[in-house]
Structure 1
Amino acid sequence: MSIVIDALFVGKARPLARDGHADVPSGIVKASQKDKVWLSLNGLQGDEQGDRSYHGGPEKALHHYAAEHYAYWQSQYADSPAAMVAGAFGENISTNGITERSVYIGDVYRIGSALVQVSQGRQPCWKLNRLLCRDGVALAMQVSGATGWYYRVLQEGWIERGDKLELLERPQPGWPMARLISALFSPAAQADEWRQAAAIGQLSLNWRTTFSRRIQSGQIEDWSRRLSEPT
């Protein structure tokens, strides 16, 4: 099956408001791009993040989200102030035909004149709650496993809507992103799974470090600061 970019999104960091809370800068609201956009090691030209401590950077240069997930989110958040359509969750790339079950950590794709590699999944944060004006959205995405995934850029280049994703390498055929996301987020995940994940060389350093710390401590880290909006 030929997979193409159905939509390409870029956004500036702007204040994200919610009644009763102070505005925070965020690049989650993005605009569809009709023309070619330059993809550098740090992401798409013109794309911004509100807090570079947690978002963006070389290991999260490009975020890909499967458009077919939106039918589920429409059923869950039919009254959302943000339309549950492609681009709603701040992704850069939207496609149909591949999901976390059919994309593998370390996969290398040619997109346009660029080369990218799957580096990690998304760790949903409380800005999703603010976007939809409802608590618990970030946690719901985490539990669903429909988080999307990130790419690092191996070769900079131009990409645009309509470009095909050409799979060139699959170094980890035993590790679809669904398995990796479950290893990180499922409370039922076991130490052996963490140990195997920590040894995946194509996985981002941040995720490998997280799995290694769990092996040492035997505990899953506290996610409350990431999932719950500060009061």
Structure 2
Amino acid sequence: MTATLVVRVDALLTGCAKPYTRPGSSSGIDKHVRSGSVQIGELGLSGDEQGDPRVHGGPDKAVHHYPFEHYAQWQEDLGPLSLLQAPGAFGENISTHGLDEGKVCIGDQFTLGGALLEVSQGRQPCWKLNDRFDVPDMACRVQSTGRTGWYYRVLQAGTVSAGDLLELKSRPHPDWTLRRLGTLLFERVLDPAALEPALLLPLVPSWRKLVERRLQQCEVEDWSRRIDGPAQDASH
């Protein structure tokens, strides 16, 4: 029997893709709160854009959820930045209180308004967070703390609004919280006994490939390109 897990959505946010901080880059990370009803479909919330569809967005990263309670922890780490005074700092589409990576499992299905969402993966933070916060190792901090947030795929399109309830309907993998899975991946674990059970999960293709490669090659990935990004213009 699925445990009762219900939270209220505090804010829904979307953003338009715009030129970003480094030459040739674009990003939709600057999200703003939406009022009223918003349609949600296979590629996420209506009006939301991604600057680099090769690595952002798509059906497996349709909607990004970030717990607002993490903001207080970031303020302890970074100080009272203006960016941390309201939802949207991390480019999230959904902001809530009451859910975090230790309470959400891979494959969880939630209803929200008229939509049905499925937890597809945790976020792998990239260099755009470094520039957004003007903290050179911000992406690394997000990854190492496990305060990454997570993505949903949209199983059933519908209309959603801030104030709607996000309610757990199905939990096929109760032993696999996003925190457990994130620790396995982000702490660069190579132990086959820890990695092999993860292959039984509904991993997105890139994460499955990562686990398989570790098992085959007994080495971890080089994430410097994702974490550090392209060379910055000297004027930045």
Q: Normalization by structure 1: what TM-score?
A: 0.94
Pick the aligned partner of 1:4 from 8, 12, 15. Answer: 8
Alignment RMSD, CA only?
1.5
- Call closer, same or farther: CA 1:79–1:112 in 2, change over 3 Å: closer
8 Å contact kept, 2:106–2:178: yes
* Counterpart residue identity of residue 45, structure 1: S
Q: What does residue 221 of structure 1 align with? A: 221
In structure 2, C-alpha distance between the alignment counterparts of 1:138 and 1:87, rounded to whole Å: 16
Q: What does residue 153 of structure 1 align with? A: 154
Matches within 5 A, 1:1-231: 2-17=6-21, 21-22=22-23, 24-78=25-79, 80=81, 82-188=83-189, 190-201=191-202, 203-231=203-231
In structure 2, C-alpha distance between the alignment counterparts of 1:149 and 1:195, rounded to whole Å: 22
The gaps in structure 1 that reach 5 residues or longer are none
* Counterpart residue identity of residue 211, structure 2: F
8 Å contact kept, 1:14–1:50: yes
The gaps in structure 2 that reach 5 residues or longer are 232-236
In structure 1, C-alpha distance between the alignment counterparts of 2:95 and 2:225, rounded to whole Å: 28
| Number of equivalenced pairs | 227
Per-residue CA deviations over 1:170-214 (Å, capped at 9, x if unaligned) read 00011011001111101355222221112202x212211211111
* Counterpart residue identity of residue 9, structure 2: I
Percent sequence identity over aligned pairs: 46
Q: By how many angstroms is 1:160 displaced?
A: 1.0
* Counterpart residue identity of residue 196, structure 1: P
